[in-house]
Amino acid sequence: MPATDLCYLGLVEVGRQIQAKKLSPVEVTKAMLERIERLDARLKSYACVMADSALAEAAVAEKEIASGKTRGPLHGVPVAIKDLCWAKGAPAAHGMTIHRDFRPSEDATVVARLKDAGAIILGKLQQTEGAYADHHPKIDPPKNPWNADLWPGASSSGSGSATAAGLCFGSLGTDTGGSIRFPSAANGITGLKPTWGRVSRYGAFELAATLDHIGPMARNAVDCGAMLGAIAGQDAKDTTSVPLPVPDYLAGLPGNLRGVTIGVDRRWTSEGTDEAASKVFSDGLRVAAELGAKISEITFPDPKAVIDDWFPLCGVEAAVAHEATYPSRKDEYGPGLAGLLDLGLAQSGTDYQKVVLRREAFRGAVRLLFESVDLIAVPAQAFAAPTLAKMAALGEDASLIAGLLRFTCPFDMTGSPTITLPAGFAPNGGPIAFQFVGRHFDEAGLVRAGDAFQRVTDWHTRHPAL
């Protein structure tokens, strides 16, 4: 099999071939490492390549599989992790210069669980500073493999770029305001943001504790389901993780949406949404209806206040996460993250409590919607495939910030699970996506919906020319 074709196989598919002994974990890992060496000097998606440990893990997997031991769908499959997730002995800079020498003495729970599932860890993927909006001024940001002039997404930009470019079969990202969904949409891959509490956050640097979600990014919904099945579940090291059983996300995939009611607020999803994003969203709804879904009109609670509140809430929680180094080492921070921390430190107790109360009221209003619908459909963002030049004006353009966060941060404020599905291309060649949002802890329903959509569309199978 040509190396390029191999590197673009789906995660579950390459796992099947490895476990059937048609492919060697060692040879697949070598092919991925060679591709990283050849392409990533240009793409900058990896913060740290862990070649020696990856090859050692691949050799163990090969021996286990040869002896008849199979750990599951990820066994022998090379994946990568966002830099903020600890991997024992490997640098974990968190997109910051201040942590460049930190090497944790243990794995994050999600990394340990990937290893327990037999996955091969290729390395750590680059991210924005502290997982906020901007890359640190001293770090060369990842490039969008479709077009270097297009935004690669934030903050899991390396995860999006590497997965789209065939430099791993799947990756871990995190989402606090949209950072699984932005790079999934921007790079034409599938991203699954789990319910808050479904996945342990132990051993992952925080941006904002009650907003942070760790989840899989891959080239299709089934692959995301396989990764989520490996990392999800209660963890004694993170007492905010929820003690619910983890379903088999690869079971019961009917390939249709019969019996599924999808809620849509036509006004909210169309106002201020550009033509390309609107068309992709409409096309996605049409496909869902053809698959048997009932499209139901809903009125989504006005998210303006919680979008505005996201900034001070994130700032307060981030100030707690950074209190050991900020403001005492402020000169080592970039302006974007420093501005967020200053905002958080400026909040009064009464300001914060008002935010908390508005958030809880909004969470309740969204929860009520799911009494009459199974999923809610929304665009990934209000404008399609933004350029780097456009995003450079983010700090000066309030409408740009609102359009960016409009369909993402409300579901971090509620902790709702979402799946982001590639569904078209903009006139500038950049990928466009839309989202399904589910009930809390119904990630299985999102995997089923994403799989059904991807069985009859081919957007997720298209790859950048590299």
Between CA 172 and CA 125 the distance in angstroms is: 9
CB 192 within 8 A of CB 443: yes
Question: 375 pairs with which residues across the strands?
Answer: 262, 438
Q: Which of 142, 190, 264, 195 is nearest to 433 (CA)?
A: 190
Q: Which entry of 82, 115, 124, 143 is annotated as an active-site residue? A: 82
CB 391 within 8 A of CB 151: yes
Residue 22 annotated among the catalytic residues of the structure: no
- Which residue's structure tokens are 């590497």? 162
Q: State yes or no: cis peptide before 327, omega within 30 of 0.
A: yes
- Measured between alpha carbons, how far is residue 233 from residues 194, 213, 237, 286, 409 in Å? 11, 13, 12, 34, 24
Q: Which of 185, 432, 409 is nearest to 314 (CA)?
A: 409
Q: Which entry of 156, 179, 184, 416 is annotated as an active-site residue? A: 179
Between CA 103 and CA 89 the distance in angstroms is: 5
CB 136 within 8 A of CB 95: yes
Residue 241 annotated among the catalytic residues of the structure: no
- Helices (H) then strands (E): counts for the chain: 17, 11
CB 104 within 8 A of CB 84: no
Between CA 398 and CA 127 the distance in angstroms is: 24
Between CA 170 and CA 80 the distance in angstroms is: 7
Dihedral of CA 164/208/415/112: which sign? positive
Question: 436 pairs with which residues across the strands?
Answer: 377, 419
With 0-12 / 13-18 / 19 or more C-beta atoms within 10 angstroms meaning exposed / middle / buried, residue 357 is: exposed
With 0-12 / 13-18 / 19 or more C-beta atoms within 10 angstroms meaning exposed / middle / buried, residue 102 is: middle
CB 155 within 8 A of CB 179: yes
Q: Which entry of 24, 155, 161, 200 is annotated as an active-site residue? A: 155
Q: How many CB atoms lie within 10 A of CB 259?
A: 10
Residue 82 annotated among the catalytic residues of the structure: yes
**185, amino acid identity:** A
CB 254 within 8 A of CB 292: no
User: What DSSP string runs through 278-339?
Assistant: HHHHHHHHHHHHHTTPEEEE--PPP-HHHHHHHHHHHHHHHHHHTTTTTTTTGGGS-HHHHH
Residues forming the active site: 82, 155, 179
